[in-house]
Amino acid sequence: MKKTLKIILGSLLIALAFNIFFLPYDIVPNGIYGIAALINFQTSYDPATFLIITNLSLIIISLIMLGGYKSKEYVWPSLLIPIFIFVENYLNSFILLDGFEKIMAVIVGSFITGLGYSMIYKEGKNVGGFDIIQDIANSATNYRNNIYSYIMEGIVLISTFIILGFEQMIYSLLVIAIIRYMTTKTKVGISTSKTFYIITTKEQEVKDYIINELAHDLTEFNIKGGYSKNKAKILMTVMDTKGYYSLKEGILLIDPDAFITITDSYEVINKNKNLSKREKDI
């Protein structure tokens, strides 16, 4: 039930952004919704009708090419979003955004759309449109390639430039960039920790600094140089982002020649569990 509610809410958010922030400001969003917007701007054809017809056609093709198991990922969002767009279109007169700047419409609309996308993707579903085309194209190859998605987005941008002009194309490019960023960040989260991989000749001093000064645990890996064949150790530890500079600068003060690699960590489970347990035992 919770999963279904998230899919419904995600679809509702995408439809709200489309009706309130994109269509009224002549902003072309990403994907199949951008094509629907362009057709509406040129012919006043109902975008909800276009989306339902297009998505149903693509779902049928998907059933033939990919089978029922894969195709069921698209059914609910592909139908819910156009339905919500159709229903919400009659509610727009009650929502007044007088004096709202177009750039703000781009930012807010993209943020809401990206949030809606991520809610749907987290539940193992897809929004239809270009996602279906992407998967059908990938089914013909032995590896997944996002180039098809980029090509289709490029077609939307070029069409926007031809029909609406350069300025509108820039707004559309911003929408695509923000939606992609928001979708990724809300799916995997914002990095709150950093993972350090350290190779140093002053191993014991660095270990003492991490454990005693910073109260963090660490893990050791035995390694061998690929070219030199020299044996050494990698010290790995995870530090909250706020302690990033304390750890980095502290290591470099101990050993200015230390080799340090730092990566983002989006989720850390049971961080410092062993160290906390040891401190309790003491």
The pLDDT of residue 278 is above 50: no
DSSP bridge pairs for 223:
232
What is the pLDDT, as a whole number, of residue 277?
46
Q: Average pLDDT over the chain, rounded to whole? A: 84
Distance of CA 211 to the CA centre of its chain: 35
- Regarding predicted confidence, which is higher, 139 or 269? 139
Take residue 77 and report the two structure tokens written for it.
């969002």
Domains (range + CATH), the chain: 2-188 (no CATH), 193-281 (3.30.70.120)
The model's confidence at residue 136, banded by pLDDT at 50, 70 and 90, is: confident
Give the pTM. Answer: 0.71
pLDDT of residue 81: 94
What does the pLDDT average to over 47-67? Answer: 91
For residue 12, which amino acid is it? Answer: L
Give the distance from CA 153 to its chain's centroid.
Answer: 16
pLDDT tens track for 153-179:
899 999 999 999 999 999 999 999 999
* pLDDT at 257 (0 to 100): 92
Q: What was the pLDDT predicted at 143?
A: 58
**What tens digit of pLDDT does each residue of 225-269 get?**
878 788 888 999 988 877 788 899 899 999 999 999 988 876 666
Mean pLDDT of all residues in 93-104: 75
CA 21, CA 141: separation in Å to the nearest integer?
38
Kindly state the average pLDDT of the residues 208-233. Answer: 86
pLDDT in tens, 184-201: 776 655 667 889 999 999
| Helix (H/G/I), strand (E/B), else coil: 257 | coil
- Which residues, including other chains, have CB under 8 Å from residue 105's CB and lie 6 or more apart? 21, 22, 24, 25, 27, 97
- CA 154, 148, 176, 78 dihedral sign is positive
Q: What is the pLDDT of residue 7?
A: 92
Report the C-alpha gap between 88 and 98 in whole angstroms: 19
pLDDT at 274: 47
- Cα of 81 vs its chain's centroid, Å: 19
